Amino acid sequence: MKSKYSIFSLLRNSLSYHENWESQWRSPDPKPHYDVIIIGGGGQGLATAYYLAKEHGITNVAVLEKGWIGGGNTGRNTTIVRSNYLWDESAALYDHAVNLWENLSQELNYNVMFSPRGLLHLAHNVHDMQEIQRRGNSNYMNGVDAEMLTPAQVKGLVPFINLNCRYPVMGGVLQRRGGTARHDAVAWGYARGADACGVDIIQNCEVTGFDIQNGVVKGVQTTRGAITAGKVGVVTAGHAGVVAEMAGIRLPIESFPLQAFVSEPLKPIIDIVVMSNTIHAYISQSDKGELVFGGSGDPYVSYSQRGAFNQLEHVVGPVVELYPIFSRVRMMRQWGGITDVTLDRSPIISKSPVENLYFNVGWGTGGFKATPGAGNIFAASLAKGEMHPIAAPFSIDRHYSGALIDEAAAAAVAH
Ligand SMILES: Cc1cc2nc3c(=O)[nH]c(=O)nc-3n(C[C@H](O)[C@H](O)[C@H](O)COP(=O)(O)OP(=O)(O)OC[C@H]3O[C@@H](n4cnc5c(N)ncnc54)[C@H](O)[C@@H]3O)c2cc1C
């Protein structure tokens, strides 16, 4: 049982110079058997384990992470949260997540710093205007908030924006419930919550193979020995294809690097997330004051997690055109993550040809925002052995039946 974080625990621990805080989760050795093994200790894997234990009473669960929890895309992403996707299936999926974000800090007793500061997509040409109007209408019909803005209204929200740049700003669509959250805290909060329910979080434990007998998964091989399991859930993002191949499955996924970078910390200057699909740049400001920048994915497949100068240039150019005020801001850090991209830019939340082996992958450049919702419905699917109704359309089968959920336009700039 974890002690509750509160003003009283803060005061109590301050009396001992903050030297006696209990560790947030245990570091147990792997047991020989678990009812459910989750491969991948990113936010989504940890959220799955948390909801398995909390909502379905399945506590004999291990999360196996080859590195450290949150060290994959969860700790590398630009933390944009929104649910204004085009198709009904996506709206249901991402809005389920936004609804959970709204109460997540209270649910986990952990401040995930969810900040629904509003998310603005800019439109720079007639096509963009048509796209945001179509999407905005679709959002409206799905109960997802969307407000169309004129250039003057955009200027009201971002007073220093240059509306008449190379690609003039013709309007925008605003989702006020969108925003950001603190990525590490999401992984840590779910880890602490899952651990408190009895889940074993095992870091530095890479899954290297599966034990499959007569088409049924019986366990996994790891760098810390073989472990048997009733069910296995794969939540390995950029390495989805690599892990699936160990089970003899070829996923319709390609892995591309996606880069991001932050500036030196500044005083508060932009209190909203602004995205531009056409010129491939988006920007927000972290609570530490850094401007957080991102753009499109690298144009080639790779497992590199590094930043590169060409991408920096590709994003900074349009940023400086849109926001000349930032032209002298110094960049501080740049990095990359490996995104698992499907051909319709929607995730695969699915059973697989191997019985009791489930996948929750293919989130590509936009799965952070889905973390609570995806974990919640994947846990329900694992617990019941039937895909949750929100997850069902995201089956791997859609790539064979043709029932794709094509979010490529709405997700073009990633996230
Ligand atoms: C630069 C960048 C910016 C992004 N910006 C946004 C954004 O603003 N908004 C948004 O919604 N999304 C964004 N994304 C996408 C988002 O980060 C991912 O979709 C999401 O974090 C995926 O979560 P996850 O928990 O599935 O993956 P991860 O956090 O990557 O977790 C997967 C884990 O699996 C582990 N693993 C892999 N192979 C094995 C193995 N064999 N054995 C054991 N463990 C293994 C990895 O080490 C990793 O920790 C961005 C991504 C990047 C790279």
Ligand 1 centre from 169 Cα, in Å?
32
- Using a 6 Å cutoff on CB, does residue 340 contact ligand 1? no
d(CA 203, CA 28): 9
Q: Whose CA is nearest to atom 25 of ligand 1?
A: 42
Pair type for strands 207-213 and 200-202? unpaired
d(CA 315, CA 108): 36
Q: What is the pTM of this model?
A: 0.97
Q: What is the DSSP string of 332-363?
A: EEEEEEEEEEETTS--EEEE-SSBTEEEEE--
Q: What is the pLDDT of residue 98?
A: 98
Q: Are 337 and 236 in contact (CB under 8 A)?
A: no
Q: Whose CA is nearest to atom 52 of ligand 1?
A: 77
Q: What is the pLDDT of residue 411?
A: 59
Instruction: Ligand 1 pocket test: pick from 85, 236, 413 the residue with the most ligand atoms within 8 Å of its Cβ.
Output: 236
Q: Ligand 1: which atom is nearest the Cα of residue 366?
A: 12
If you average pLDDT over each of 225-239, 276-290, 301-315, which comes out highest?
225-239
Q: Ligand 1: which atom is nearest the Cα of residue 243?
A: 41
* Percent of the chain surpassing pLDDT 70: 98
Q: What is the mean pLDDT of residues 312-327?
A: 93
Question: Which residue ranges make up each domain of the chain?
Answer: 30-83+85-109+183-252+344-401, 119-177+255-342
Q: Is the pLDDT of residue 175 over 60?
A: yes
* CATH number given to 30-83+85-109+183-252+344-401: 3.50.50.60
When pLDDT is cut at 50, 70 and 90, the band that residue 342 belongs to is: very high
Instruction: Ligand 1 pocket test: pick from 46, 50, 73, 360 the residue with the most ligand atoms within 8 Å of its Cβ.
Output: 73
Q: Are 243 and 47 in contact (CB under 8 A)?
A: no
Q: What is the fold of 119-177+255-342?
A: D-Amino Acid Oxidase; Chain A, domain 2 (3.30.9)
Q: Which residues contact 286 (CB under 8 A, 6 or more apart)?
A: 180, 262, 292
DSSP E strand boundaries for 97-182: 119-123, 147-149, 171-175, 179-180
Q: Ligand 1: which atom is nearest the Cα of residue 183?
A: 21
- Using a 6 Å cutoff on CB, does residue 40 contact ligand 1? yes
Q: What is the DSSP string of 245-270?
A: HHTT---SEEEEEEEEEEEEE-SS--
- Using a 6 Å cutoff on CB, does residue 415 contact ligand 1? yes
Q: What is the mean pLDDT of residues 139-161?
A: 97
- Using a 6 Å cutoff on CB, does residue 184 contact ligand 1? no
Q: What is the pLDDT of residue 269?
A: 97
- Using a 6 Å cutoff on CB, does residue 236 contact ligand 1? yes
Ligand 1 centre from 341 Cα, in Å?
12
Q: Whose CA is nearest to atom 31 of ligand 1?
A: 42
- Using a 6 Å cutoff on CB, does residue 337 contact ligand 1? yes
Locus of tokens 């996924």: 253
Q: Is the pLDDT of residue 166 over 90?
A: no
Q: Are 326 and 292 in contact (CB under 8 A)?
A: no
Encoding tokens for residue 114? Answer: 């969810």
- Using a 6 Å cutoff on CB, does residue 293 contact ligand 1? no
- Using a 6 Å cutoff on CB, does residue 136 contact ligand 1? no
